[in-house]
A and B are shown apart, each in its own frame.
Chain A
């Protein structure tokens, strides 16, 4: 149906795609996998007309095709849902859904009533029940993604490309998404599915194409491919090695010293409507997971501790010293480092270099009388680039040009440079490739072993369970359970979330 033959795409210094051939059959869910930088994004951009291939052929519906612009591809029936939601946050949900195709009444004016009615009906099929007149930006990220999906499917699509559609979805929403995918599948629509989550691939995909370093290393039926083999093909590692390391890079050994005094103590955190009397402690060397569904208050809890979310009451103590109304400045000074969920919006500064990003929070220590010392910055940047294995052409490369995994590492380097006592990580491995994910996970282990207290939020249950020594489960801003020791299992986590709810 949609096919590329021997396509190559060369960027200055990189052969992003090297003689790649890929074929999507009608009514097939085709997984496209590979580490970041393997060429997945480039291939998608070639398929959707964002890039023109340097050589090779693009075939669509049996004919040779050429998409000069993304618009051409859309008109031909190829819809794409990107990793980050590409909608307009200030416009209403309905407007976003119908953007450019608004229903009109007889006078040629916008027919708002019909638009709202249609939007409600369409979105109900995607499990979105929010008022369609609300501004899109006020919806949860997962719901926004559903709106994006609904929009993509509405455009009479024959091919739908999904670039990590579940990275910001909760398990329940993933189920809804899968329902939609199965329905599309039934209607003979071809789907290209990009994801780092293996469980999902095996659940929903028929075929798989694995890219590595711009080349296709495997293509075929997914059912015929053993999971461990898939990972090893992707990483280019030996299978025995993958087996030994397990699915995540966490050691699984409990590192928390249960006798020590807590390094972080949050007590009675309350913020209007979002958080209600949340209390927990983190001991040095301990990784405490925060579990729960989207909107349970995990990110808010982390931000409140870091001074970036207003609290009505509650105390935050670091090593027994009260923070007294945390502000970001005070929190960092006390040794709290927050890695926010939204890396691009709140984490990195894309227009500055790797070097400036890493040194940002510790400039006063790297300067005298307000003048920065370039050599001191170089030393600290060098140290963390080596330690975290940050891959950049030079420390002066702009962070915005790096892959997601490396951006995340730069962000972690900035946090570590402040010499924190507690690390609060909100989705540290979201949207980064398998290799970087493993590196970040083992780094978390390593840091905990060095005596840092870590709070981990992850919607990847496997990551949460294997990474955390203890899991505090939240629901609607309330602590509904704490899993310790042998209870830290996926089943216990699910039942704790379910037990707390009345749905």
Chain B
């Protein structure tokens, strides 16, 4: 026998990490069109979009953090903090309430950023602190009570329409564009990718690595606080112990399924949106076909595994 090796036709998986998520969405939509009654009705599409909007917003921030080889577990707690502050400041007007919740986001993000960039904690540990503490603080602020929110302006943000499309969806779409622009066109975006690609090298190149990292965590937390205040606006009440529960996992899933590697140096903004949409579609499909939530969770797990498997870096070159 010799080592003569014929060219084997290998399965071409090259484009899969990048475009697999879009393909999956397409297949799922086609399936639903044929097999799910009332799937393609405007009211259903509307509900799906409204439900996915907060996840998309949080996932955008998460994608940026993951792009720096980090992770932010505190996003759900930031949402809770933002939600808890809304009823407190609503007396001074909608603008004051929104500002208060955004400031909370800035504060949490700044603490996360300082812990990661200056103190040098690992992101998962640094953000774990506020993951635990943030929600606790939110419950204390809200005195553990569910508070109704009856401000018409705020309710408009959560349930209103603009040109027939929910305001919530407009806001999410706008934020997607802003983040995509940030990543692709700005100095900050390039620096973010460089930090994620090789932090020591970026530092030696004379870039303000710490400032970039702190900014990234602040952005992520601000996006989470936007998601938090929009959730309050949508359900018209503020419940600090429930808002944004487990959303960090949905957000990380969306980012990973969307093809952004956890190893940093790359951010796929549209992929992240698609990842969130895909997971939403999967859940919706399951519910429409009367499957147990437990089954849904297992299917989600399989999708995550496939996404990670496809996106894994080849060890040999």
Contact = CB atoms under 8 A, between A and B. Distances in A.
B208 interface: yes
Interface string A342-381: 0001111111100010011101100100111000000000
Contacts of B208: 329
Given A329-B208, A371-B186, A352 B265 contact: yes
Contact of A364 (B5, B187, B198): B187
Contacts of A356: 190, 193-194
A349 B5 contact: no
Contacts of B194: 349, 352, 356, 360
A117 to B, nearest CB: 34
Given A328-B203, A360-B202, A52 B5 contact: yes
Contacts of B205: 328, 332, 360-361, 414
Contact of B4 (A55, A328, A329, A348): A55
Interface in B177-191: 185-188, 190-191
B175 to A, nearest CB: 18
B197 interface: yes
A338 interface: yes
Nearest to A359: B190
A292 to B, nearest CB: 22
A308 B204 contact: yes
A86 B186 CA distance: 37
Contacts of A331: 206
A257 interface: no
B209 to A, nearest CB: 8
Interface residues of A, number: 40
A496 interface: no
A346 B204 contact: yes
A363 B198 contact: no
Interface stretch (A56-64, A108-116, A188-196): A56-64
A345 B194 CA distance: 13
A66 B191 CA distance: 46
A345 B201 contact: yes
Contact of B204 (A52, A340, A352): A340
A52 B316 CA distance: 13
A121 to B, nearest CB: 34
Nearest to B190: A363
A142 to B, nearest CB: 21
Contacts of A345: 198, 200-201
Given A348-B198, A351-B266, A360-B207, A58 B3 contact: yes
Interface in A267-309: 306, 308
B198 A349 contact: yes
B185 to A, nearest CB: 5
B15 to A, nearest CB: 15
B2 interface: yes
Interface string A422-461: 0000000000000000000000000000000000000000
A331 B206 CA distance: 7
Considering residues A52, A338, A352, which has the most beta carbons from chain B within 10 angstroms of its beta carbon? A352
Contact of B187 (A57, A332, A333, A363): A363
Given A351-B265, A372-B186, A64 B204 contact: no
A418 interface: yes
Contacts of B188: 370
A405 interface: no
Nearest to B4: A55
Contacts of B119: none
Nearest to B182: A370
B1 interface: yes
A76 interface: no
A22 to B, nearest CB: 14
A57 B3 contact: yes
26 contacts: A52-B5, A53-B5, A57-B2, A64-B3, A308-B204, A328-B204, A328-B205, A328-B207, A329-B207, A332-B205, A345-B200, A349-B265, A350-B198, A351-B197, A351-B198, A359-B190, A360-B190, A360-B191, A360-B207, A361-B206, A363-B190, A367-B186, A370-B187, A371-B187, A372-B185, A372-B187
Given A55-B5, A356-B190, A360-B190, 10 more contacts: A54-B7, A340-B201, A347-B204, A350-B197, A351-B266, A356-B194, A360-B191, A361-B205, A363-B191, A371-B185
